[in-house]
Amino acid sequence: MSAPALRVAHLYPRLMNIYGDRGNIMCLRRRCEARGIGFELTDLSTGDRLDPAAFDLIFAGGAQDREQRGVAEDLLATKAAAVREAVERDVVLLAVCGAYQLFGRSYRESTGVELPGAGIFDLRTEHPGPGAKRCIGNIVAEWGAPDGTTRTIVGFENHGGRTRLGPGARPLARVRRGFGNNGEDGTEGAVYRNAIGTYIHGSLLPKNPALADHLIATALRRRHGEVALAPIDDRAELRAHEAALRLR
């Protein structure tokens, strides 16, 4: 039997790549290749269509507001329905910051303009207005991992929008330090089926190897069944995680 391969779609890699979000793709590739797992990456940009049956994991990062507006239009026109179908088929999705906002039901900009979202997550995001302070800084949150343990997730957030979850989504984590979804209710990110949305940059996965491996294992399971992920040397990643825990 041939070794499994992880098939990844990276949405808008040039337009949605702020604060090192591409590092999440680099992390997934390294962790797969260190275990002899194949890694097949497809970049999909404006105008490109997504085949909901072609991928095990879909990733999209964050952007400035100007790029986000252009992506919002293209997302609805060419990819939103396919991403929704993929998520309903239990394909893994990781959406960071701007993509997280656009994959909700709507995003209201600081100008009051409302961008319709792709509707993957039951959430809405509103910017309080041009005079509002941004949610910016280092963040630590508590994630309930699938093995029943509670893990810390660390990173960096910088967003003006405030996100509130509806009943169809649950939080990814609970904020220990930082703002998270809105700076008020203590939630960070959202989960629906195998789709995860989060505000955490920095980038997320290299500093949080347990979460990275959870995504890899979940993505492979759908097509290959249970795939045991061999241990790899995480000393550098864990040092980065511990250093992030100490940041204020």
| Catalytic (active-site) positions | 97, 201
Which tokens hold the place of 10? 């990276």
Cα–Cα dist 35/111, whole Å: 48
Cα–Cα dist 204/156, whole Å: 8
CB 143 within 8 A of CB 204: no
Cα–Cα dist 128/132, whole Å: 6
Show Cβ contacts of residue 118 under 8 Å, excluding neighbours closer than 6 positions: 75, 76, 79, 80, 83, 84, 102, 103, 104
